[in-house]
Amino acid sequence: MEILGKILGNPARVKIMRLFLLNKSKGFKNKDIVTRSRVNASVVRKELSTLLSAGFIKKRSLDWSFNSSFKYAHEFEGLLVGSDTLNKEAIAESFRKAGKIKLLLVSGVFIKDKDSRVDLLLVGDKMKKGKIEEGIRKLEAEIGAELVYAIFDTKEFSYRLSMYDKLVRDILDFPHEVVVQTKELSTQALKKN
């Protein structure tokens, strides 16, 4: 995203544009944009003004929304939404202080699969809920969309895996990418179950 930020003016604008492109039918109040994009309120106001003057967004009575008649909507969607959302190192770094992560898988929005049940699966021990939520919010701000995620401790995940739990099987049997995995939860061990 750093390259896009340089080309388009700044990373804050990229975050805000992604937020609108991934939520085309939704309207957002200023405070919602600040929260979801994790951009300072004064910067949000400036960027909204710029995007409004370019015709990218429109102002409704109580909120802002994507302008569906924006001339270059398709091109920007391809550039901002179709580009790599985050690299694996950045995703792993988001959860570095969350506990002993043994398995971290991404799918859905991360690999451009709209049919996926979850975007992120996190398995580990001694996990800290606050740090996990902080990591999730950070990723959501970078991507511009709310993430659907599943979190399990290792024992519960192993049990669900052995019982052919539908959610776990749907995550593992459909397209996904491994970001972090320990030998204990290696891909081959997961596929055997």
For 1, half-sphere exposure in the C-beta direction (CA atoms, 13 angstrom radius) is: 20
> pLDDT truncated to tens, each residue of the chain (193 aa)?
455 555 577 888 988 998 999 888 899 999 999 999 989 999 999 999 999 988 999 998 889 999 999 988 888 888 777 665 567 888 898 899 999 999 999 988 888 887 888 999 999 999 999 999 999 998 888 887 889 999 999 999 999 998 999 999 888 888 898 899 888 777 545 654 4
Task: Return phi, psi of residue 126, to 5°.
Answer: 50, 45
Task: Return phi, psi of residue 26, to 5°.
Answer: -100, 155
The pLDDT of residue 108 is 87
CA–CA distance, 184 with 146 (Å, rounded to integer): 30
The pLDDT of residue 110 is 85
The pLDDT of residue 67 is 94
CATH tag for 2-81 (out of 1.10.10.60, 1.10.10.10, 3.40.309.10, 3.40.1670.10): 1.10.10.10
Same fold, 2-81 and 88-192: no
Return the domain boundaries, the chain: 2-81, 88-192
Hey, is 28 helix, strand or coil? Answer: strand
The pLDDT of residue 193 is 46
The pLDDT of residue 126 is 94
Burial class (CB in 10 A: 0-12, 13-18, 19+), 80: buried
In the numeric block, which tokens belong to residue 48?
């909204």
CA–CA distance, 185 with 173 (Å, rounded to integer): 15
Neighbours of 137 (CB within 10 A): 16
In the numeric block, which tokens belong to residue 103?
């398995």
Sheet holding 57-59, edge to edge: 27-28, 64-66, 57-59
Question: How much is the pTM?
Answer: 0.70
Neighbours of 104 (CB within 10 A): 22
DSSP character at residue 161: H
The pLDDT of residue 181 is 87
Nearest to 94 by CA among 127, 149, 132, 121: 132
At the top level of CATH, which class does the domain 88-192 belong to?
alpha beta
